Amino acid sequence: MSIHRLALPLLLTAAASAASAQQQAAAIEKLAPYFPTPLTIVEKMLQFGALKAGEKHFDLGSGDGRIVIMAAEKFKADSTGVEFDADLFKQSSDKIKKKGLDKRSRIIHGDVMKQDYTSADVLTVYLLPSSNEKLRPLLDRQLKKGTRIVSHDFEISGWTPEKVESIDDDGEGRSHTLYFYRR
């Protein structure tokens, strides 16, 4: 059998799996551009959510992993980020490993709309209002009673916040609003 005949099935398999990875990436809807929360506000979000040691926290669209890292490092929570962008996924996963936080934090490389949040005690989100609206039915179905949700800057329409905090200046002249919900 010629080398070409042996190589062809391998090539076809590789091409098919590359095509399927592309299709999967294309199927994920971008719910917000990457725009990181300043670290001072990250801390406020986690305090606002009253995140405690050992609790399960998820950041939906975790960017460079800053919320996940602070949740695990400073608040001693068990924290999971979900991020579909391959570079941000790698960057945040590498940082978690480098800091030795990988026992209680991790990043899932995937779609926030396709995850299981049933174990969550606290969720943080920094997505667009229309994205929060798309996410809400999934959270309504999955979240256990008492789960706390902190949304940065945008409300989750259809839910009533238990408290709202405005921060006039984050030190860089930007104002922020935090919305706290409890299921």
Ligand X SMILES: C[S@@+](CC[C@H](N)C(=O)[O-])C[C@H]1O[C@@H](n2cnc3c(N)ncnc32)[C@H](O)[C@@H]1O
Residues listed for the chain: 183
Query: SS in 3 state form for 21-51?
Result: HHHHHHHCCCCCCCCCCCHHHHHHHHHHCCC
Structure tokens at 157: 């329409």
| Binding status of residue 181 toward ligand X by CB under 6 A | no
Q: Which of residues 68-107 bind ligand X (CB under 6 A)?
A: 82-85, 88
Q: Which of 11, 15, 30, 74 binds ligand X (CB under 6 A)?
A: 30
CB 19 within 8 A of CB 49: no
Element spanning 133, H or E? helix 129-142
Residue 181's φ and ψ, nearest 5 degrees, are: -125, 150
CB-wise, 121 or 153, nearer to ligand X?
153
Q: Which of 17, 18, 29, 118 binds ligand X (CB under 6 A)?
A: 29
| Binding status of residue 35 toward ligand X by CB under 6 A | yes
Q: Which of 51, 55, 63, 105 binds ligand X (CB under 6 A)?
A: 63
| Binding status of residue 39 toward ligand X by CB under 6 A | no
Q: Could you list the residues that contact ligand X (CB under 6 A)?
A: 28-32, 34-37, 59, 61-63, 66-67, 82-85, 88, 111-113, 126
